[in-house]
Structure 1
């Protein structure tokens, strides 16, 4: 059954800010989560000079700045840093890829595909009409991304074969690495053809089948199954080339600008993950040891046993007018007692809830209500 939408999606960007309860919010798309050091520094300085002093990491590997004071100056800075390469397509560049792909394991390196997909999206004028909620996923075969419920995606089955995913499910279509991006772009055009205003492919009546048919490609009888995972890259990760990547948890996805400046100073790429953490890649061993020694006391979490890896939360007060309480402060007070995955919400909407089995802790006028995982 199709879902009917009465208005275009209101996802914010840089050029269209969201008027949050605590002030204007800007969302910066970061395809595949990859930031160069100069871009990390640009975001850090923008957060300090123009925002509330923090970079918020999102569940799509993007970045947000809250309480933006000068939208025009923010736009200028982000364009200069290469973080706003298209004014027409900025909100449709929602691309999530396996963060460790090409460095640690995986069947194929999907980061080159992510860059090609981003370029292809920006080169197609009509694809600027995609809703800002549409999500593209690229999984290198390890299964960390395909369970996130994207709209259009590929999942590596070997080094040169990918399953095409539509609305988070295996369509049965198999393509080569060379055809992966063209097929994803064709599927995006197909979404626009079958949509009557819906924001997500799963909301379109028989949408996945109709888009698959529009591609005109054969399907395999076997279908892969994907489930949500919670295998967050954390700690010391030896790369296939002998260098080191460091996976770090950020408390509730809020990265202080000063800490981001230290990350930029390593002069290594930073990957934002859909678990609101980071991977600092391509380090020599001695440099990785220095990073841990300096940045762990500043707030980066490299410990896989930290309870902070088990909790997530919505914005809460004062950022959201619908929230009944300051959820993040409450999480911080309770995190030491957490022993299972929990998502804390300031109201029944449960914004930001990760997929999969997780205990919901929901604020009500009478206090928090706990909904066990199922």
Structure 2
């Protein structure tokens, strides 16, 4: 009689159109299938139908209720509150069907994008706590973290980390953030982002004059409309300046929600510089497609973290316009320190200088990137060896 298959639950905010998150999940599932081909995988995610279609694993929605925008606000608040209560027995029952719960990468312990405490922080804590109550193993694998300003979020994150059997972070700043938040883990190690386990893009002709521009709809809590408009205006100025200097531009996004803004920036640029100007919007919707775009460019101007990852994997010079410090930290690790600005405080003149410098960078930069990638892959192999002791056979 064959031994029972290990039942692995994969938890995260997947199936919501975030291309980097889906790339991370794809990389993890590939590694899991390679090392544990007999594992029985089930995903607990925000968009189960999307995950089943893209990744080929059965999936369940991680929350009991997901607003559809059809209820009046008062009714929606009541249903939402009741659903958080129902999430407790629902999650307890679901975690009993597993042997191990894994949270694979992504910024699940980050708060820069205005995460509310009673959404992902609550659901993740609930899943981890219920797993422990059911005697199941729990692993937080190469996750990103930030100190939470909100006390409830900080408490939920801290207990999530304390209860896990395995905790690893994708950079030292994430580990320090959780220690600052009240959850120091002396056994927590640092590994590269899981997306670095994706295969490098196939070689293709590189257009040295092409700038791949990552666009992100970045909302600021106290001035959302003004922030987006300022950003769109600055990106339009950037595109027109690049086109005026003889370059071509293709926009990419890291989340499908960014596509309308990317198309608007292209339309504004064409309106100003002429319909025939060499700028176009790319609708690439997978990490593999983003890697191909990055591989064909002379420079990647990255906004989302996984734009940086795509550029590094493709061996293309990267300039960052980040909403958090993780972009700059990653660039420093691959020998590109300094080529980074805040997305909400862009100096256009400096940005153009950084793009020129990146475009003319020599073999030293590409060699440093290649060395970093080789190191990342070895470290990820070590991570999966460690994780095997948690997942089991």
> Could you say which structure has the higher helix fraction?
2
TM-score by length of 1: 0.28
> Could you say which structure has the higher strand fraction?
1
State which structure, 1 or 2, has the greater radius of gyration over its C-alpha atoms.
Answer: 2
TM-score by length of 2: 0.27
